[in-house]
């Protein structure tokens, strides 16, 4: 593993905390979703991020950015991001 920049590490932890908040109800249900439904969620989250920016709340901007990033991660995941970094994982 590479050493993460502090900003990336903090953001990744925020992403993980948000995912864990929903684990009991949703778990990793995104793995059963397709790219298009997740892209629709990205679009929704982008609107929520813009609204948080307009409303002027830095905390809400951060939380919405985390949501947006999580949906982007989900899209990358179902499209093989682990195999991109670790090709041996796709050779089962």
The reported pLDDT for the residue numbered 90 is 57
Q: Using one digit for the tens of pLDDT, what is the confidence trace for 73-92?
A: 999 999 988 888 777 665 54
The reported pLDDT for the residue numbered 84 is 81
pTM: 0.85
Q: Tokens 């009991």 identify what position?
A: 24
Q: Using one digit for the tens of pLDDT, what is the confidence trace for 36-63?
A: 999 999 999 999 999 999 998 999 999 9
Euclidean distance between CA atoms 36 and 53, whole angstroms: 26
Rg (CA), the chain: 15
Q: In terms of DSSP H, where are the helices of the chain?
A: 6-21, 23-26, 35-55, 58-78, 81-85
Q: Tokens 């939380």 identify what position?
A: 63
Euclidean distance between CA atoms 11 and 22, whole angstroms: 17
Domain-by-domain residue ranges, the chain?
33-80
4 secondary structure, DSSP code: P
């Amino acid at each position: 593993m590479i050493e993460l920049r502090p900003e990336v590490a903090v953001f990744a932890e925020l992403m993980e905390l948000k995912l864990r908040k929903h684990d009991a109800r949703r778990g990793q249900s995104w793995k059963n979703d397709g790219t298009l439904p997740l892209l629709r969620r990205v679009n929704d989250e982008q609107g929520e991020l813009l609204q948080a920016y307009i409303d002027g709340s830095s905390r809400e901007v951060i939380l919405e950015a985390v949501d947006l990033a999580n949906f982007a991660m989900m899209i990358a995941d179902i499209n093989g991001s682990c195999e991109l970094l670790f090709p041996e994982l796709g050779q089962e």
